[in-house]
Structure 1
Amino acid sequence: MSTTTVGRAGAREWGGLAVLSLPTVLLGLDVTVLYLTLPSLAEDLRPSGTQELWIMDAYGFLIAGFLLTMGTLGDRIGRRRLLMIGAAAFGIVSVLAAYATSADMLIAARAALGVAGATLMPSTLALISNMFADQRQRSLAIGVWATSFALGMALGPVVGGAMLNHFWWGSVFLLAVPVALVLLVAAPLLIPEYAAPQRGRFDLISVTLSLAAILPVVYAVKRFAKDGPDLPMIAAALIGVVFAVVFVRRQGKLESPLLDVRLFADRTFSSALSVLLVGLVGVGGSMLLITQQLQFVEGLPPVEAGLWMGPPALLMFLAAIGSPLVARRVPPGLVVAATLALSTVGYVLLALVGPSGGIALMVVGFGLVYLGLGAIAALGTDLVVGAAPAEKAGSASAMSETVQELGLALGVAILGSLATAVYRSEIDGRIPSGTPSDVADSAGDSLAGAVASAERMPDGWLDLAKEAATSGMNTAMIVAAACTVVLSVLSAVVLRHVGAIGDEPEAAPAEPVTSRV
């Protein structure tokens, strides 16, 4: 074991960044590929509307639940080691998801992928923060890392759509296998190991409390999506809040906490986390609704829908790589506020989309939404990680990824549920009498069910279902626009104290980095 002080990054660090970008590409690809599989998946597995939501966001919720645990675990056993363990697990579970034979089996596989993904995300980001100590280099490296996610999202629809044209829906999950294999081979060659100099004791009680806080809230959100507010939903939410309070109090008393709550005392850290959380809610919901609109309402095949999703993802790519460069001259808070204002315009355009002929408007609107996503993903993440000392990089990275994954999953649950509620209210009473009960239940539950049951319904009825679904999407986008314009103003206010990147020299790490090559 050797102890070295990290200076400016060299060729090996930039090569290591390329390797660390691989799992990030994989995670971005997994998001957009899954949205494209929904029509063929629904036809094969016949999930209910609630099961569709579980399939979509069980992955994100489980990642959010385990990120804190995995971030701290990586600090203790070694971040590179945890990265490689997670990559192997992700590849294996992806094979199980590919061959799922029921909606429940796929939900379970998606949940397991979430646990495996939780090992990848904080490891990659924490290792980047350790490899790039120079502030400007780190900002650019995190921008590259964020663009890798955008690249995965851009490639996912195109590659996934092509695969769906020739293979079954489960084949898209197999894309994870070669990526995991490359990572397992290249990581020991280019990425130095890192473990915190003072590891402390791994507190299993805190792990249990963190899960006890998050999982009841997950149940509450899901129950609300299905049945609306009721006593079990409220009870679950209260239980989650109680365990969250107990968890936070315990962290304040431990020498080596699972989450160092003192990080929240830093105004930059807490403000950037808030922007990431709220900003990702709108993005998560719009991704789900736009992909459904392209396929179910516009009737595009997966390949063509994937190609239309490519330009918005590429705009996110440009924003993620360009915003750190702009922030060298303009304060990050103003950069974030400006791009979120453009995202608001994008949501308004999406709220104007009609039940037919709205593809161009959707692409332009979604592209503006993705501009904001690219900026907050790159700059928000950099602000969170940069506000923490080197030995707390794992905890800070885990918090950054937790709020982003939770925001995406909440967006799917909240905006997806809102759109579904509007659909059901407009379709209620319009299903022809005499329709078999199973067909009526399927058609009245979701647009996916209506499409799957179209052959057993009267002519013209599917057009009514498409109009109802479009109305649901429009309503959800109006809500997202209202929230995003408020977030844009708040970003300029709460981050106004942060100067342009590199305005002041960054202090040397508080402790030397312990690396095992």
Structure 2
Amino acid sequence: MSPTLKAPGGTARATFVTAYSAVTLAQITNALPGALNGTFAIDFRTSGAGLTWIAGMFMMGIVVFELSWGLLGDKFGRKKLLYIGALTSIVGSVLAASAPTTGVMITAQAIGGIGAGILFPISLSMIAAITPDHRARARAIATWAGFLSLGAVVSPVLAGLTSQLFTVPGETPEAPVAFSGWRVAYLVAAVLAVTVMGIAVRAQDVPADRARRLDMAGQATLALGLIALLYSTVQAVDSGFGAWDVVAGYVAGAALLIAFVAIEARSQHPLLHLALFKNRAYAITGIVAVTGMFAFLAIAFSTSVAVGGLALVETWKVGILFVFIQGPAFLLIPVVGWLIHHVAPRWALTGGFALMAVSGFWLSTFRLGTPEQFGGTPWTAFIPPLLLLGIGFALTVGAITAVAINTVDPQHIGMASATTNLLRDLGFALGPVIGSAIAFSLGASAFAAPLAGILNGAGLPAEAAAGLGQVPPLGFLAGWQGVIAEFSGHALAGGAPQAAVEGMVGALNTARPAIQGVAGTSLGQGFQMVYLVAGLAATVSAVLTLFITGGRTAPTADQVAESTEATAEADAEEAAQAAFKTPIAD
């Protein structure tokens, strides 16, 4: 390895500042939707599928290319790729700040996810390359992890403060908000990205390694396969799992991922070494990386929607709740490092997943979907279980990598670390996607019968009631005026007299409190089930970690150093930090 401390045209200090700023930026943009999903539901008047796309698209932008960015940085230069990542983040943030519709916001999230997906590994590899001493590298990576966790804490605070300070009320019930203050949070992220690019001018770089090869066939099949599966699961939220496009997406996704496995088995330069999964202990670690992180983000997503979107709690209060979720990962970095060093890491995993399970089960008992003034659960009641979730996450997110590399041979440390990161981030992506599919489908089923009773009691004709029965409960909550306008248009187009349509609209407006109350409680039941499923997933993860046995001892610094010569440097450097028992909490 050739350290860049002697490379001309830059300074080590600027390189460190660039890397730490870049990872903070990436994590801020990554975590912003967590505190804003409820607000998005109201502002964009989106469907359940639309809300799921907003929440999940960012993580998919990270996951689908995660195994390639480090290699591309080596091949074309890390500094160049960092510029691309920051510029992409600027585009995504500005587009999000100005998004008028759900579709534009989804596009902004996809662009922003790609930008963050570049910045995460590139910022890490930049500081690893200029710290050839193993102990200095461990300290630098620990600091990098601290700034990453700091971004996770800053993000919900930023979302809450901007929503509170910059929101401009509207003048009519149809337009209650003239300007949503959360948009300023994305503008702040864009300014930070510009700052990162300015600092990076003075950063050091290493010569590009043109010999590195990218597994294009593997990358393409992996990306398209994951996107197809995501598409089907999200579409099922509104269309149902039997819809033709949902079934076709699952078939295509499965075929592409099978092709990915076949390609990787034959590739001389694979993205993923399948032989890793022949190791029983590593395979278990991979499973819990997915199921455990699914549980974490399913609970976080459900809290954002249930508290912000259904209970209509102010965004700044939701931001405070997310500080309790994200804050422990930042505050407990030295504690978790000590635990992993002095206690077998699998016990940290078991304890962490157990705390997450308690959080999920506890939250599943809350009354959801009703504002506090009408008997719903007070927002402050969420603090204790969410604090348990945050502590559990702090214990598990870094320990997963430490356990994974302790179960493989030294020469496979880098690939094991990179693969574990991919599986962990896949779990993050699945949290809101599967959580939405559960909550909105169950909510629609629970909503159908009481809605029909209310509409019949309001005197609406059967055909009119049947048409409104196709509207999902979130539509009545987040887009009442749109529902009324669409209903009126269909009725008039069907030949109903103007007076009759006005009478039906009046009856609907009179029944609005009852309809929205039932819609909220129905969706609340759906999110109660998500909490329960997340608790079960965390419980399974905790139990599985008890069977991680037979792992070798932690790799030595020399073994890690040897592994860096044969693996992508971004992956190898994360392995180095795990060898020194300093978890990366991303």
Calculate the TM-score normalised by the size of structure 2: 0.76
SS at match of 1:156: helix
Are the counterparts in 1 of residues 447 and 473 from structure 2 also a CA contact under 8 Å? no
- Which whole-Å CA distance do the structure 1 matches of 2:360 and 2:240 have between them? 25
Corresponding position of 2:174: none
- Which whole-Å CA distance do the structure 2 matches of 1:479 and 1:315 have between them? 23
Q: Mean alpha-carbon deviation: is it higher for 222-231 or for 53-62?
A: 222-231
Q: CA deviation at 1:367?
A: 1.6
Corresponding position of 2:356: 343
Are the counterparts in 1 of residues 71 and 212 from structure 2 also a CA contact under 8 Å? no
SS at match of 1:509: helix
Calculate the TM-score normalised by the size of structure 1: 0.85
**1:110-139 CA deviation, whole Å, 9 max, x = no partner?**
222222222122323444555667777666
Corresponding position of 2:505: none
Opposite residue 529 of structure 2, the aligned amino acid is T
Corresponding position of 1:253: 266
Opposite residue 33 of structure 1, the aligned amino acid is L
Q: Mean alpha-carbon deviation: is it higher for 161-170 or for 340-349?
A: 161-170
- Which whole-Å CA distance do the structure 2 matches of 1:442 and 1:171 have between them? 37
Corresponding position of 1:202: 214
Opposite residue 224 of structure 1, the aligned amino acid is A
Are the counterparts in 2 of residues 316 and 367 from structure 1 also a CA contact under 8 Å? no
Q: CA deviation at 1:17?
A: 5.2
Q: CA deviation at 1:474?
A: 1.5
Are the counterparts in 1 of residues 38 and 306 from structure 2 also a CA contact under 8 Å? no
- Tell me, which stretches of 5 or more residues in structure 1 are unaligned? 7-11
What is the 5 A alignment of 1:47-58? 47-58=46-57
Corresponding position of 2:107: 108
**1:281-313 CA deviation, whole Å, 9 max, x = no partner?**
112211111112222344321122212322232
Corresponding position of 1:215: 227
Corresponding position of 2:312: 299
Opposite residue 255 of structure 1, the aligned amino acid is Q
Corresponding position of 2:90: 91
What is the 5 A alignment of 1:242-281? 242-264=255-277, 270-281=283-294
Are the counterparts in 2 of residues 49 and 446 from structure 1 also a CA contact under 8 Å? no
Question: Which of 422, 425, 440 is residue 402 of structure 1 equivalent to?
Answer: 422
- Which whole-Å CA distance do the structure 2 matches of 1:403 and 1:171 have between them? 33
Distance 1:504 1:32, change over 3 A: closer
Q: CA deviation at 1:327?
A: 0.9
Distance 1:384 1:493, change over 3 A: closer
Question: Which of 466, 480, 493 is residue 453 of structure 1 equivalent to?
Answer: 480
Corresponding position of 2:299: 286
Are the counterparts in 2 of residues 82 and 119 from structure 1 also a CA contact under 8 Å? yes
- Which whole-Å CA distance do the structure 2 matches of 1:199 and 1:438 have between them? 66
Corresponding position of 2:59: 60
What is the 5 A alignment of 1:347-496? 347-355=360-368, 356-384=376-404, 393=414, 398-431=418-451, 432-433=454-455, 441=468, 444-447=471-474, 449-453=476-480, 456=509, 457-494=511-548
- Which whole-Å CA distance do the structure 2 matches of 1:438 and 1:86 have between them? 50
Are the counterparts in 1 of residues 88 and 114 from structure 2 also a CA contact under 8 Å? no
- Which whole-Å CA distance do the structure 2 matches of 1:383 and 1:195 have between them? 32
Are the counterparts in 2 of residues 331 and 498 from structure 1 also a CA contact under 8 Å? no
Q: CA deviation at 1:331?
A: 0.9
**1:401-443 CA deviation, whole Å, 9 max, x = no partner?**
4323321221111122211122212211222215797998599
Question: Which of 184, 194, 199 is residue 197 of structure 2 equivalent to?
Answer: 184
Distance 1:119 1:384, change over 3 A: farther
Question: Once the two structures are aligned, what percentage of the paired residues are identical?
Answer: 21
Q: CA deviation at 1:481?
A: 1.1
Distance 1:441 1:160, change over 3 A: farther
- Which whole-Å CA distance do the structure 2 matches of 1:227 and 1:183 have between them? 42
- Which whole-Å CA distance do the structure 2 matches of 1:310 and 1:259 have between them? 35
Are the counterparts in 2 of residues 24 and 148 from structure 1 also a CA contact under 8 Å? yes
Distance 1:451 1:226, change over 3 A: closer
Q: Which has the larger radius of gyration?
A: 2
Q: Mean alpha-carbon deviation: is it higher for 92-101 or for 198-207?
A: 198-207
Q: CA deviation at 1:86?
A: 0.8
- Tell me, which stretches of 5 or more residues in structure 2 are unaligned? 6-10, 168-179, 369-375, 482-507, 570-586
Opposite residue 330 of structure 1, the aligned amino acid is V
Distance 1:449 1:401, change over 3 A: farther
Are the counterparts in 2 of residues 296 and 447 from structure 1 also a CA contact under 8 Å? no
